[in-house]
Amino acid sequence: MPTAFGSVGTMHIAQVTGVPLSLTGRTALITGGSRGIGASAVRLFHQAGARVAFSYQSAADQANALAAECGGPELCLPIQQSLNSIEDGQALVAATIAAFGKLDCLIVNHGIWPSHDAPIASMTSDQWRGTIGTNLDSVFGLVQSAVAQMQSQHRSPGGPRGHIILVASTAAQRGEAFHADYAASKGALVAFTKSLSSELAATGIYCNCVAPGWVDTEMSAAALHHPETSKQVLSLIPLGRAAQPDEIAGPILFLCTPLAGFISGEIFNVNGGAVLVG
Give the residue numbers marked as catalytic: 182
Judge contact between 118 and 83, C-beta under 8 A.
no
Judge contact between 241 and 214, C-beta under 8 A.
no
CB atoms within 10 A of CB 221: 12
Give the DSSP letter string of 40-53: HHHHHHHHTT-EEE
Give the DSSP letter string of 69-137: HTT-TTTEEEEE---SSHHHHHHHHHHHHHHHS---EEEE-------S---TTT--HHHHHHHHIIIII
* C-alpha closest to that of 22 among 52, 53, 54, 46: 46
CB atoms within 10 A of CB 227: 7
HSE-CB of 256 using CA atoms within 13 angstroms:
32
Distance CA 134, CA 88 (A): 9
The 3-state DSSP class for residue 13 equals helix
